[in-house]
A and B are shown apart, each in its own frame.
Chain A
Amino acid sequence: MTIDIGSVSDQPKTGGRPVLDIDKLKVTFATDSGDVYAVKDVSLEVNPGEVVAIVGESGSGKTVTAKTILGLLPETAVSSGAVLINGNNVISVSAAKLRQIRGRDVAMVFQEPSTALNPVFTVGWQIAEGIRAHADTAGHRVSAKEAKARAIEALRKVGIPDPETRVNYYPHQFSGGQKQRVVIAAALALNPGLIVADEPTTALDVTVQAEILELLRDLRDKYGTSIVLITHNMGVVADLADRVVVMYQGDVVEEAPARVLFAQPREDYTKKLLAAVPHLGRNSASQGMTERAHQGGKVLVEAKNLTIEYPGRLGSPAFKAVDGVNFTVSEGEVFGLVGESGSGKTTIGRAIAGLNRTTGGSLKVLGYEMLNFKERTFKPLRKEIGFVFQDPAASFNPQLTIGDCVAEPLIIHSNPSPAEARKRVGELLESVQLPASYAERFPHELSGGQRQRASLARALILNPKLLIADEPTSALDVSVQAVVLELFKEIQREFGFAALFISHDLAVVDMLSHWVGVLYKGKMVEQGLGNQVMGNPQHEYTKKLIASLPVPDPDEQARRRQEFRAVLGG
């Protein structure tokens, strides 16, 4: 494969010195178990109008690097090296000087917009706060009126409709994506040359993510703002970045223009990282299928017009989390449930496991009608149902060993002798590719991926007919996710259980599921074979969902971006 290197230089390279120059940065944290070297030796430059993405898995030091740029490290950290912003070294300037630099020369966009905004002040006040903290060009204090006018201007820039009215709104009156726009507006208020965006879209749904990425690109194009984009999502990188810096365990592994990096990664780690990223339409579980499989077997879960309501507060109506959903899961089948946050997918999973009550319609789990749920009568069926939770760190009792945790279902349902239990735990751990000796470890001694495998072992120890996996890989790094997904696929084939696989990630769902259902605001808008839903979506929402998913390939993503605009327009 050849690369037209000439086309790489289409990034705006206005001469002059870089807006950000990091030189030999080292950051060390003091912890209870000794010093931790979070950033070992990082050097990088950001030129005016350039988008530089720092990618890496958790623990790679990317967020610490970003925080150093704004001098936001906690007290326990010690940093050395140089971080030059317009000639000022952030590491060594005084606190007063640092305050001047923040906001004026560099600003930050945080990951979680709902916590980055203070709920008791209007968004206008919060944007104006930054403006009023700095003197204007003539050196005068900015008046409240002027600051508000500039806040309105900033809101208009980021595409908030009717900014004159909404400047007086409180954060809770905005949706998640709009809140992130407000955070970006606050960052933009003083026209800084550089914006540091730390996982700006991670907390957002994929359709909203596409809009925010669009906005960030506009800022660069219209105002020449440089952006340092911290992310773990290769799709986002492909969509936005000009240049990519790959970090691993505190070191820069590779640095290259985005198109070069994706086409011809140089280092092994980068290659591995890119290979692990799930790519929509590749490696689909339903590849080559033309009709629904496993329909001969028994139907394990049957939802007819299923409705689940959460009671509203006094005076407000009940909230319908799931609204008239129909589906079936048959023996041996993997059913993928996709949807954005608030679509009701987790509620359905929890209802099947008896953690939520159903309020209408009918949900039959292994023949048991969940509408008349009683813990006592449902308990015998529990051994047929395994459940894998989203966060493997939280789903193990920290006080018990992995062996105790994995054996728990066995002990509750069949009361085995300790030797039998130990043997069975050993077998299960082996089958999820963990050494049997891990049974004696405590959960915190395992990595995230290992914990999630142990969690799978716990779910499978009673050989259940049905497994519910609620976002089992979304708390994991991509390379770990790839391994866990592969293992899941293998074990499913080996054990032959039916599975309800819940995820917000279309590519992940497609990799595992034979049959896919798309949920939107509690309604099942589309279901069908994985390859058909992903390849030829029928419903408007599914089309939008698929179009907004960024793929880890800059050229393909540029093309998809056009399509996304078309979908939005049409």
Chain B
Amino acid sequence: MNATIVSGRKQPLVYRLPVISHFRKSVGLQRGMLVTGLVLTIFFLLTTVLAPFIAPYGYSQLSDASGTFPAQQAPGGNHILGTTVGGYDVFSRVIWGSQTAVIVIVVAVAMSIFLGVALGLVSGYFGGWLDRILVVIADAIYAFPSLLLAIVMSIVINRGQSSFWGGIVACSFAISVVFVPQYFRVIRAETIRLKAEPFVESAKVVGASSVRIMGRHIFKNATRTLPLIFTLNASEAILTLAGLGFLGFGIEPSSAAEWGFDLNKAMADASSGIWWTGVFPGMAIVLTVLGLTLVGESMNDLNDPRLRGRKRAGGKVPAGSPGPTQAAPGAEASAESRMP
């Protein structure tokens, strides 16, 4: 009956997924940043999944059929990235370390996201004394240095030293204590904004219950920024984990590979010219965090129409201005060539 219906349809689900929709919107430099971040992140995730196939040795392996591994061997031969002072294979530990990192991210963010979102919705929607108490608690947690908090948690949970899951849980718990207030804050702010929107009031006047309003009307509209916080938090989680490991509150080398722990052990090596034990775990941390941060930051920019670069409008350009065929790297280009 009406031909325009088709053109007004929603785009297929794939194109509405967070990262994909951002990629389609991006242009120029912003796309470059996003792609770099995505490549690094995907590389990191692939390493995690394929670790058993890539790593030549186990994370706690000290010997193989040909005998015990030599300590502090320079890169080359059987050990492409050399071995540590304890005789571990650096390459294997770097690869296995990515697995620990991903598990900690997933557990930490999962714990904090559910609690944070739920508390944020309830606190923002109902307000009153509950809201005030929760905000004070969140502020109090903010006031703590996160690493200190993580150390305390780690000590409380397993006296500082631990098995694989003990360490993971301690770490994740410590991280999520720091992250819950972030999710809480963001969702609470969105909820308070949305609470005054006419569509929420219109649900109120038709008699919808509070649970229905929160679940159906506010929740869906309040979660747009979550993918962004998720990526930024993921990189922060890795840093906290590495920090804990570096300070000696991480996971024992016999239970799992952990980049921060390796860095700690590599400290003494650095002064005696043994660079490979520190550089490679360090690079792994830097690249992973860089990848996640790039993804997060570009999503942040692309979410905001004012920060988002666009292709230049129109084929018709006033005389004297650079033609539209020139690559327009995002906002910068359109800014300078706007007024010819």
A207 CB to closest chain B CB, in angstroms? 27
CB contact list, A80-121 vs B, under 8 A:
80, 91-92, 94-95, 98
The closest CB in chain A to the CB of B204 belongs to A355
B73 CB to closest chain A CB, in angstroms? 55
A412 and B338 contact, CB distance less than 8 A: no
| A362-392 Cβ-contact flags toward B at 8 Å (1 or 0) | 0000000000000000010011010101110
B334 and A398 contact, CB distance less than 8 A: no
A378 CB to closest chain B CB, in angstroms? 9
Tally B residues with Cβ within 8 Å of A: 40
A412 and B206 contact, CB distance less than 8 A: yes
Residues of B within 8 A of A389 (CB): 198, 201-202
A71 and B2 contact, CB distance less than 8 A: no
B74 CB to closest chain A CB, in angstroms? 53
Q: Which listed residue (B207, B217, B320, B338) contacts A382, Cβ 8 A?
A: B207
Residues of B within 8 A of A135 (CB): none
B8 CB to closest chain A CB, in angstroms? 4
Bound-state CA distance A26–B314 (Å) is 10
A360 CB to closest chain B CB, in angstroms? 23
Residues of B within 8 A of A79 (CB): 318
B314 and A78 contact, CB distance less than 8 A: yes
B199 and A413 contact, CB distance less than 8 A: no
Residues of B within 8 A of A445 (CB): 8-9
Cβ of B339 under 8 Å from chain A:
yes
A390 and B205 contact, CB distance less than 8 A: no
CB contact list, B187-232 vs A, under 8 A:
197-199, 201-209, 212, 216-217, 220-221
Q: For chain B, what secondary structure do more than half of its interface residues adopt (helix, strand, loop), or is it mixed?
A: loop
Bound-state CA distance A412–B312 (Å) is 48
The closest CB in chain A to the CB of B198 belongs to A395
Cβ of B111 under 8 Å from chain A:
no
A355 and B317 contact, CB distance less than 8 A: no
The closest CB in chain B to the CB of A98 belongs to B339
A428 CB to closest chain B CB, in angstroms? 14
Bound-state CA distance A35–B312 (Å) is 9
B324 CB to closest chain A CB, in angstroms? 8
Cβ of A161 under 8 Å from chain B:
no
Cβ of A409 under 8 Å from chain B:
yes
The closest CB in chain A to the CB of B217 belongs to A397
The closest CB in chain A to the CB of B2 belongs to A435
A366 CB to closest chain B CB, in angstroms? 13
A78 and B207 contact, CB distance less than 8 A: no
Cβ of A354 under 8 Å from chain B:
yes
Residues of A within 8 A of B320 (CB): 92
Bound-state CA distance A98–B331 (Å) is 22
Q: Which listed residue (B199, B205, B316) contacts A355, Cβ 8 A?
A: B205
Cβ of A32 under 8 Å from chain B:
yes
B1 and A435 contact, CB distance less than 8 A: yes
Known: A75-B338, A397-B217. A408 touches B198 (CB 8 A): no
B197 and A78 contact, CB distance less than 8 A: no
Residues of A within 8 A of B221 (CB): 397-399
B205 and A385 contact, CB distance less than 8 A: yes
Bound-state CA distance A35–B315 (Å) is 10
Residues of A within 8 A of B1 (CB): 435, 437
Residues of A within 8 A of B339 (CB): 71, 91, 94-95, 98
| A435-460 Cβ-contact flags toward B at 8 Å (1 or 0) | 10100011001000000000100100
The closest CB in chain B to the CB of A38 belongs to B313
| A56-76 Cβ-contact flags toward B at 8 Å (1 or 0) | 000000000000000101011
Residues of B within 8 A of A98 (CB): 339
Residues of B within 8 A of A399 (CB): 220-221
Residues of A within 8 A of B313 (CB): 28-30, 35-36, 76-78
CB contact list, A386-431 vs B, under 8 A:
387, 389-391, 394-400, 405, 408-409, 412-413
A412 and B207 contact, CB distance less than 8 A: yes
B198 and A390 contact, CB distance less than 8 A: yes
A387 and B205 contact, CB distance less than 8 A: yes
The closest CB in chain A to the CB of B321 belongs to A78
The closest CB in chain A to the CB of B194 belongs to A397
Cβ of A31 under 8 Å from chain B:
yes
Q: Which listed residue (B9, B199, B317, B340) contacts A397, Cβ 8 A?
A: B199
Q: Which listed residue (B203, B331, B340) contacts A92, Cβ 8 A?
A: B340
Residues of B within 8 A of A412 (CB): 206-209, 212
Residues of A within 8 A of B9 (CB): 445
Q: Which listed residue (A26, A36, A382) contacts B316, Cβ 8 A?
A: A26
Known: A75-B331, A98-B339. A409 touches B310 (CB 8 A): no
CB contact list, B37-81 vs A, under 8 A:
none
CB contact list, B302-326 vs A, under 8 A:
305, 310-314, 316-318, 320
B201 and A78 contact, CB distance less than 8 A: no
Q: Which listed residue (B203, B207, B216, B334) contacts A383, Cβ 8 A?
A: B207
Cβ of A131 under 8 Å from chain B:
no
Bound-state CA distance A29–B338 (Å) is 11
A494 CB to closest chain B CB, in angstroms? 21
B67 CB to closest chain A CB, in angstroms? 62
Max chain A C-beta neighbours (<10 A), residue from B311, B314, B335, B340: B314
Bound-state CA distance A406–B328 (Å) is 44
Q: Which listed residue (A29, A35, A458) contacts B202, Cβ 8 A?
A: A458
Residues of B within 8 A of A91 (CB): 318, 339
Cβ of B5 under 8 Å from chain A:
yes
Cβ of B132 under 8 Å from chain A:
no
Residues of A within 8 A of B197 (CB): 394
Bound-state CA distance A518–B339 (Å) is 51
The closest CB in chain A to the CB of B196 belongs to A394
Bound-state CA distance A408–B205 (Å) is 11
Bound-state CA distance A90–B58 (Å) is 70
The closest CB in chain B to the CB of A94 belongs to B339
A80 and B217 contact, CB distance less than 8 A: no
Residues of B within 8 A of A75 (CB): 331, 334-335, 338
B118 CB to closest chain A CB, in angstroms? 19
Residues of B within 8 A of A152 (CB): none
Cβ of B159 under 8 Å from chain A:
no
Q: Which listed residue (B201, B205, B217, B338) contacts A77, Cβ 8 A?
A: B338
A78 and B202 contact, CB distance less than 8 A: no
A136 CB to closest chain B CB, in angstroms? 27
Residues of A within 8 A of B198 (CB): 389-391, 394-395
Residues of B within 8 A of A71 (CB): 339
Cβ of A353 under 8 Å from chain B:
yes
CB contact list, A13-61 vs B, under 8 A:
26, 28-32, 35-36
The closest CB in chain A to the CB of B324 belongs to A78
The closest CB in chain A to the CB of B312 belongs to A30
A353 and B199 contact, CB distance less than 8 A: no
CB contact list, A287-306 vs B, under 8 A:
none
B208 and A408 contact, CB distance less than 8 A: yes
A24 CB to closest chain B CB, in angstroms? 11
A359 CB to closest chain B CB, in angstroms? 19
Q: Which listed residue (B206, B209, B314) contacts A35, Cβ 8 A?
A: B314
Q: Which listed residue (B2, B331, B335, B340) contacts A437, Cβ 8 A?
A: B2
Bound-state CA distance A155–B88 (Å) is 81
The closest CB in chain A to the CB of B306 belongs to A74
Residues of B within 8 A of A413 (CB): 206-207
Q: Which listed residue (B202, B208, B316) contacts A387, Cβ 8 A?
A: B202
Bound-state CA distance A143–B338 (Å) is 34
Bound-state CA distance A399–B215 (Å) is 12
B2 CB to closest chain A CB, in angstroms? 7
Q: Which residues of A contact B (CB under 8 A)?
A: 26, 28-32, 35-36, 71, 73, 75-80, 91-92, 94-95, 98, 353-355, 379, 382-383, 385, 387, 389-391, 394-400, 405, 408-409, 412-413, 435, 437, 441-442, 445, 455, 458
Given A80-B318, A397-B217, 4 more A-B residue pairs with CB atoms under 8 Å apart are A354-B204, A355-B201, A412-B208, A455-B202
Q: Which residues of B contact A (CB under 8 A)?
A: 1-2, 5, 8-10, 25, 197-199, 201-209, 212, 216-217, 220-221, 305, 310-314, 316-318, 320, 331, 334-335, 338-340
6 contacts between A and B (CB under 8 A): A78-B318, A80-B316, A91-B339, A355-B204, A400-B216, A408-B206
